């Protein structure tokens, strides 16, 4: 039996997750145009870039300048990604940034070592330091993300028990310190999720924490992206990370083609919600235009469907 939400929120990650994988630094004016177009779509949150080591991710080196030059819309939260204390402290100095405390956990030890040069256990312990850092700067702890929650190309299957054990740790370092239980984002980092597996994991989590808000970060690596979104909607999930034009992907996933390994296409997922009668607050036609802009910037055809076929609104208006 389905339990569709009445409203779904999309957090747009294309400007960060997509462009961090590029081998060239595209002109800042083009990326400003892209983000400004996203700001006019009705999206509630846009992740502009990341504050990471520019030697390791040179395409994010100009993030502070990019953030300063985009045209801010009052109804939109503009966020940045940081993975260590230095990045967070840099974010404190960025005017108009939305500061929310994120915690990152790995269900795959192999990915933790590849991505951070530390074990999953070390990364888990470091999150308590982040909670203390957020407390010191009066930044609310809002979200905990579990990477490779379904499986990992580097390590194999991930059990439900491993995910629920992490949830217990998340409760310990948040609720145990007087915080509210944060939103839990289940990240299908390397495209292992299937609809039934996704529903099973969400059900197991809700058996433990029935009132927790669950979101998903789904990659369309193996073509099940929208099927997984549909399954999540059936379970009442009302929050999705997504990337316009299907940007993004995990750099350690050994994909043969980068433009087929990205996040779910925001515009395709919004179209699905509209067809199900679920509100998103997003202007789909404006989102399609933003997708076309990024395709123009990258000089390649992106895998999104709706950006090329268009929505059904112009056909329905003929009646």
Q: Report, as residue numbers or ranges, the catalytic residues.
A: 250
- The rounded distance, in Å, linking the Cα atoms of 232 and 239 is 9
**Residue carrying the six token digits 């099927």:** 227
DSSP 54-70: TTT-GGGTTHHHHHHHS
CB 44 within 8 A of CB 283: no
Which of 301, 197, 162, 187 minimizes the C-alpha distance to 249?
187
Q: Which three-class secondary structure state does DSSP give residue 122?
A: helix
CB 181 within 8 A of CB 171: yes
In 6-96, beta strands by DSSP E: 9-12, 45-50, 77-81
- The rounded distance, in Å, linking the Cα atoms of 239 and 143 is 12
CB 2 within 8 A of CB 229: no
Query: In what helix (H) or strand (E) does residue 92 lie, and over which residues does it extend?
Result: helix 85-92
CB 22 within 8 A of CB 289: no
Six token digits for residue 170: 């998340």
Rounded alpha-carbon distances, angstroms, from residue 122 to 109, 187, 198: 10, 19, 27
- The rounded distance, in Å, linking the Cα atoms of 66 and 25 is 12
Q: In what order do the strands lie in the sheet with 45-50?
A: 77-81, 45-50, 9-12, 239-242, 214-218, 183-188, 141-147, 101-106
């Amino acid at each position: 039996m389905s339990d569709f939400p009445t409203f779904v929120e999309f957090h747009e990650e294309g400007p960060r997750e997509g462009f961090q994988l590029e081998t060239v630094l595209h002109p800042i004016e083009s990326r400003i145009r892209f983000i400004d177009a996203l700001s006019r779509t009705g999206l509630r949150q846009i992740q502009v870039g990341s504050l990471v080591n520019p030697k390791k991710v040179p395409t994010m080196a100009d993030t502070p300048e990019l953030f300063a030059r985009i045209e801010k819309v009052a109804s939109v939260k503009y966020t940045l990604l940081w993975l260590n204390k230095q990045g967070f402290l840099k974010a404190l100095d960025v005017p108009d940034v939305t500061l929310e405390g994120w915690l990152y956990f790995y269900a795959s030890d192999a990915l933790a070592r590849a991505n951070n040069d530390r074990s999953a256990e070390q990364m888990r312990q470091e999150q308590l330091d982040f909670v203390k850092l957020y407390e010191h700067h009066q930044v609310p702890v809002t979200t905990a993300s579990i990477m490779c929650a379904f499986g990992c190309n580097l390590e194999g299957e991930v059990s439900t028990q491993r995910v629920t054990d992490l949830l217990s740790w998340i409760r310990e370092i948040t609720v145990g310190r007087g915080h509210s239980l944060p939103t839990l984002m289940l990240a299908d980092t390397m495209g292992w999720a299937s609809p039934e597996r996704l529903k099973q994991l969400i059900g197991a989590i809700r058996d433990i924490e029935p009132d927790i808000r669950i979101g998903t970060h789904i990659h369309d690596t193996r073509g099940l992206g929208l099927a997984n979104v549909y399954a999540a909607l059936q379970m009442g999930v009302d929050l999705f990370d997504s990337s316009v034009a299907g940007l993004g992907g995990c750099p350690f996933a050994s994909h043969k083609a980068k433009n087929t390994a990205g996040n779910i296409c925001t515009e395709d997922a919004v179209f699905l919600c509209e067809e199900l009668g679920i509100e998103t607050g997003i202007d789909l036609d404006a989102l399609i235009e933003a997708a076309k802009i990024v395709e123009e910037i990258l000089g390649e055809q992106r895998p999104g469907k709706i950006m090329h076929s268009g929505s059904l609104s112009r056909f329905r208006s003929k009646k």
